[in-house]
A and B are shown apart, each in its own frame.
Chain A
């Protein structure tokens, strides 16, 4: 089991907004990061410090963290956004915890 809970799957129509939630007590005291992973590829950082986008990540990606829930939002979702998304937080300053992952389907 995972200390951070994510829905196994989320579906969205092209052009619509997708929201992926991540819940866990660790989020009350930790920043959240999000990673995108496409089949056969390594994870890629798409959000860190709750709401900061790394260079090169499209503006349609945004993030937030309130209480014990972090949210990754993709506005105007495109087919290329179809992937698995993992949230990540910290349990103490050096221990990483991941969510179980959410498969985003764009249909």
Chain B
């Protein structure tokens, strides 16, 4: 079955960077785009961007342009999301999700368990 396993919780200081990993299993890694979504405590879902594991192509939400980098390592079938210049407002659970598309219809079919990132001095 499809699973996306993410890295564990992290505590970071303001101004530093965090890199969250997402390792899918149960399918061929390069066949489906990975999206990243975050959720601040008590808040809603916020889309951050996507990455195509086959090509390495990316697309980022305007809000995170210049601060986020999404990459992958196909040799170990793992996707990464790195967020830099962290501030307290970046404290959130970060999710990776597999995009599924058929006949031009796309949706986030599978989600990782989430990675809590706490930004605190």
Contacts and interface: CB of A to CB of B under 8 A. Distances in A.
Nearest to B112: A42
B111 A44 contact: yes
Contact of B107 (A2, A37, A48, A94): A48
Interface stretch (B24-32, B44-52, B70-78): B44-52
Interface in B37-91: 37, 44-47, 50, 59, 61
Contacts, number: 55
Interface residues of A, number: 23
B107 A98 contact: no
Given A31-B105, A45-B107, A94 B50 contact: yes
Nearest to A86: B45
B109 A94 contact: no
Given A49-B107, A94-B59, A99 B44 contact: yes
Contacts of B59: 94-95
Interface residues of B, number: 20
Q: Is the interface of B mostly helix, strand, loop or mixed?
A: strand
A45 B47 contact: no
A35 B111 CA distance: 11
B113 A42 contact: yes
Contacts of A48: 105, 107, 109
B47 A95 contact: yes
Nearest to A52: B105
Contact of B108 (A31, A35, A99): A35
Contacts of B111: 42-44
A88 B108 contact: yes
Interface in A1-60: 2, 31, 33, 35, 37, 42-45, 48-49, 54
Interface string B86-107: 0000000001010000000111
Interface of B: 35, 37, 44-47, 50, 59, 61, 95, 97, 105-109, 111-114
Which 9 pairs show the lowest CB-CB distances between chains A and B?
A: A48-B107, A96-B47, A101-B44, A42-B111, A33-B107, A49-B105, A98-B45, A94-B59, A100-B44
